[in-house]
Amino acid sequence: MAMRNPYKNPYGGSNQYKQNKVMMASPQELTLMLYEGAIKFVKQGILYIEQKNTQKSHEVIIRASDIIIELNSTLNMEYEISKGLRPIYDFLLEKLTEADIKKDKVILEEILPLFTELRDTWKEAMELAKKK
Could you list the mean pLDDT of each consecutive 10-residue stretch along the chain, which spans 132 residues?
A: 52 62 82 97 98 98 98 94 95 98 98 98 92 80
Number of domains in the chain: 1
Inter-residue contact 45 to 61 (CB < 8 Å) = yes
d(CA 31, CA 71): 8
Question: Is 120 domain-assigned?
Answer: yes
pLDDT at position 130: 86
Question: Is 1 domain-assigned?
Answer: no
Question: Is 103 domain-assigned?
Answer: yes
Question: Is 3 domain-assigned?
Answer: no
User: What does 7-67 look like in DSSP terms, one character per residue?
Assistant: TB-TTS-B-HHHHHHHHH--HHHHHHHHHHHHHHHHHHHHHHHHTT-HHHHHHHHHHHHHH
Question: Is 31 domain-assigned?
Answer: yes
Beta bridge partners of 8: 14
CATH number at residue 102: 1.20.120.340
Inter-residue contact 81 to 73 (CB < 8 Å) = no
d(CA 51, CA 18): 28
Range of the domain at 93: 27-131
pLDDT at position 25: 82
